[in-house]
Structure 1
């Protein structure tokens, strides 16, 4: 087995070093790319591209690999060096992703944008581009969003409830075809037995989550933590009193929302009204 290249923050080839480590770790474990894909739930071709240096993968994929290989922070550190911006993967969000991966159930409220777990690739790309992200970074961020959807597609997915402000559904993409694809994706997603979607219509009354996205995670040890996010800030909330206050606010929003059945009808109606792709 060839020796590993030294890890330094001054490395001129951090991307190559990251790919090298992935190859060595898999070789030491004796896994094929296919087996790695089967175990972790991503397509084997993604790991092949990461090992060849064609893509860096998303933070979620790297976190899963780190847990599988038992490398601690090694892979995450190499990924950050390869990306070139350590602030992209802050400790707090890293901890949130680790908790999300083991959560028994998730409850979510969206103010203006669909949750990443339900976004299509086209939707994720337009939303991220609108925030000023472009080039290779945009590609990486889109991969991260799409990679998170796998959480709901495994053999034993967590229960997921999301409440969407009507604003979310009344803010279409610029590309009409892409917007129709996104609505179709929602219509199919709500048929999953582990997913519950409700729409909060305009105008019932003001509430304390009017400007805050929130995700609650119920963990195997019985605890519930929350991740709140505004346009410029995200925060992991673990203190029980603070989580309880957020849960009460969430319950009040759920009381104002349409039932799951009524919400499915709303999405179906919007899909019927959405322009069809032009014939060729």
Structure 2
């Protein structure tokens, strides 16, 4: 099926759309039949084939299973989702996708752990253009797609420290916030994820205005990615990465233990319910 993925001069989204159309026609299905048999809207499937929309990864998983195509569509989708991000972030995401160890600090609920409804609410606030809804859905799909790496094999070893402020700024809809807290509670029990809360009682610290991510590859190489105040920086220099790692260690020393952090999240859930 090499002819499906070469696509010289085409965007990744166009190649994926062409592949979707090829598989449908090879199966002898019309768009209407495909919609009936998969449960997806006909117009939505049409826009995927024309390259107008970026789907969620779960749609590609469903269609891979429907066409018995292995992970062909998911593999295409992993590359296509990068189209939604800026070049430097694409470089970071490429490293993130292959990292064996990941350490993250964030003053907000990290994208890797956001539910779909919470992601949509976060991304909707700054959109004012006529095509805002379309843009938001593209960004939602791209952000949720990053979560795929948490369940790939082999599973990366992930440590995430969240500032308490992330748990004190709820979503506008109580149901959305409740579901987000439930998801954080569940993630805190995953075997490959260590989740910690940095409490207000720890006082001021040196990462209050942005997030920090450290990634280690299988060969031991590491990078640091700092983001905040509308700027981002990817550091690959060993001395700079070491400096960032030491700053992360200081945050970890101030954070609640994993078990106390889980209890803290459950406490916030209890407050919400009452």
Superposition TM-score tier, normalisation by shorter sequence: 0.7 to 0.9
Partner of 2:65: none
Alignment partner of 1:191 is 2:186 = no
1:212-232 CA-partner distances (Å, limit 9, x unpaired): 201111111101111111131
Match of 2:118 among 118, 123, 128: 123
CA contact (8 A) 2:16 2:80 kept: no
C-alpha separation in 1, matches of 2:243 and 2:7: 49
Q: 1:210 to 1:65 in 2, by over 3 A?
A: farther
RMSD of aligned alpha carbons: 3.8
Between the aligned partners of 1:251 and 1:220, the Cα distance in structure 2 is 21
Q: Distance in 1 between matches of 2:267 and 2:248?
A: 26
Q: Give the structure 1 partner of residue 99 of structure 2.
A: 103
> Match of 2:273, SS?
coil
Q: For 1:165 and 1:21, how far apart are their aligned partners in 2?
A: 44
Distance 2:235 2:137 in 1: 29
Deviation at 1:54, TM superposition (A): 6.2
Of 242, 260, 263, the residue aligned with 1:265 is 263
CA positional deviation for 1:104: 0.3
Q: For structure 2, which runs of at least 5 residues remain unmatched after alignment?
A: 28-37, 61-70
Distance 2:216 2:13 in 1: 38
What residue in structure 1 maps to residue 19 of structure 2?
Answer: 22
Matches within 5 A, 1:119-268: 119-132=114-127, 134-268=132-266
TM-score by length of 2: 0.75
| Other structure's SS at 1:274 match | helix
Q: 2:189 & 2:217 partners in 1: Cα distance?
A: 25
Where do 5+ consecutive residues of structure 1 fail to align? 9-13, 32-42, 70-74, 81-87
Q: Quick one: structure 1 residues 221 and 275, their matched pair in 2 at CA, closer, same or farther if it must change by over 3 Å? A: same
CA distance in 2, matches of 1:217, 1:138: 28
The 1:76–1:176 alpha-carbon spacing in structure 2 relative to 1, beyond 3 Å, is closer
CA deviation string 1:57-85 (max 9, x = no partner): 379x99x979956xxxxx759x85xxxxx
Q: 1:191 to 1:91 in 2, by over 3 A?
A: same
CA contact (8 A) 1:109 1:214 kept: yes
Deviation at 1:23, TM superposition (A): 3.8
TM (normalized to structure 1)?
Answer: 0.73
CA–CA separation in structure 2 for the residues paired with 1:268 and 1:5: 49
